[in-house]
Amino acid sequence: MAVWAIGDIQGCYDELSRLIDKLGYDPARDTLWFCGDLVNRGGQSLEVLRLVKSLGERTVVTLGNHDLSLLAVGARSEQDQAKVNAELREILFAPDRAELLDWLRRRPLLHSDRGLNMMMVHAGLAPSWDVARAESVAREIEARLRADDHARLLKQMFGNKPDTWTPRLRGTERLRAGINVLTRMRYCDVRGRIAFSEKGMPGTQRPGVYPWFEVPGQSRRDLRIVCGHWSTLGRFCGLGVFAIDTGCVWGGALTAMRIDAEEPQFVVLKSDRPTPPGKSFD
């Protein structure tokens, strides 16, 4: 038995298939965790969704910002859906779209396994959140995403305000703030205010903001955390955090980390995709 966590796929089906083969994945014994952002940009998002869904109960997926964006577009009119990029249209007008979107909508925003001493989230956690608070916020949002009136949240969840989660928030603002932390955060200040415009590698950010896992005085967490979302950070291991978005869609690599071993083990599949100017994956 092996448990592998896999970083952001973003529609890179060919690379995902080769990585799964490289892992020697046995669907009868092994489990795959996916850090979110299954879709968008790689050109093969429909194939990725179908493959990951087909893996069944031995698969865990946490929702990323691109996954939520797909769900939001799927809640709009058919006319609006026809205006999005061709890759997402292929999903939205596929014969199995309803089944795929319903499956995706029911994925968690955060997954914890105390037996493995590991939590998975797409982006990060607010400085004030311990494990219990993070789980509580995620469960609250998930309940709304799975409710009959989920389209209401999908239509209102976008926006950079509020940029700080606090327990005093209510309604849509509370849900939006939680979604922004769990699926969009890279940098924040000591109060947890998200610096949405900061996307580069550590050291390039403006003074006063920190990588979310380096904020001074943050709450203690008794689980390790595996996450994605931050391709310019690359593979990072430290402070109880394992970041494994290594920019496959940008010409980097697709990374898997074995999380049930005494020490994390990494398997990397190099991408053949072109690297845009300004990106670097050494």
Q: Which residues have C-beta within 8 Å of that of residue 259, sequence separation ≥ 6? A: 3, 4, 5, 33, 116, 118, 226, 242
The arithmetic mean of pLDDT across residues 125-130, rounded, is: 98
Strand partners, 257: 5, 266
Q: Is residue 278 part of a domain?
A: no
Q: Which helix (H) or strand (E) holds 23?
A: helix 13-23
Q: Cα separation of 282 and 254, whole Å?
A: 13
- Whether 282 is covered by a domain: the verdict is no
Measured CA to CA, the distance from residue 119 to residue 111 in angstroms comes to 6
Residue 277: what pLDDT? 80
- Residues in Cβ contact with 129 at an 8 Å cutoff, skipping those fewer than 6 apart: 137, 165, 181, 219, 221
pLDDT digits (tens, 9 = 90+) for 7-50: 999 999 999 999 999 999 999 999 999 999 999 999 999 999 99
Tally of domains in the chain: 1
Report the CATH number that the domain containing residue 120 is assigned in CATH: 3.60.21.10
Over residues 180-215, the pLDDT tens digits come to: 999 999 999 999 999 999 999 999 999 999 999 999
Confirm whether 35 is domain-assigned: yes
* Res 203: pLDDT: 96
Within 10 A of 131 (CB to CB), how many other CB atoms are there?
18
Mean pLDDT, rounded, for 160-178? 97
Q: pLDDT tens, 235-248?
A: 999 999 999 999 99
Q: Within a domain: residue 276?
A: no
pLDDT (tens digit per residue) in 54-98: 999 999 999 999 999 999 999 999 999 999 999 999 999 999 999
| 192: exposed, middle or buried (Cβ count in 10 Å: 0-12, 13-18, 19+) | buried
Q: What is the predicted pLDDT for the residue at 262?
A: 86
Percent of the chain with pLDDT over 90: 96
Question: With 80 as the cut, is the pLDDT of residue 217 above it?
Answer: yes
Q: Is residue 153, in this structure, part of any structural domain at all?
A: yes
Q: Identify the burial level of 11 via C-beta atoms within 10 angstroms of its C-beta, where 0-12 means exposed, 13-18 middle and 19 or more buried.
A: buried
- If you average pLDDT over residues 120-125, what whole number do you get? 98
pTM for this prediction: 0.97
- The reply to whether 280 falls in a domain is no
Q: What is the predicted pLDDT for the residue at 190? A: 97
Range of the domain at 35: 3-270
Tell me if 275 is assigned to some domain: no
Q: In this structure, what are the phi and psi dihedrals at residue 23, rounded to the nearest 5 degrees? A: -75, -15
Alpha helices (runs of H) in 24-77, residue ranges in sequence order: 45-54, 65-74
pLDDT at position 280 over 80:
no
**For range 226-232, the mean pLDDT:** 98
Mean of per-residue pLDDT scores for the chain: 96
Is the per-residue pLDDT at 163 higher than 60? Answer: yes
pLDDT score for 282: 53
Q: Decide the pairing of beta strands 31-34 and 59-61.
A: parallel
Considering the domain boundaries, does residue 54 fall inside one?
yes
The pLDDT score that the predictor gives to residue 281 is: 57
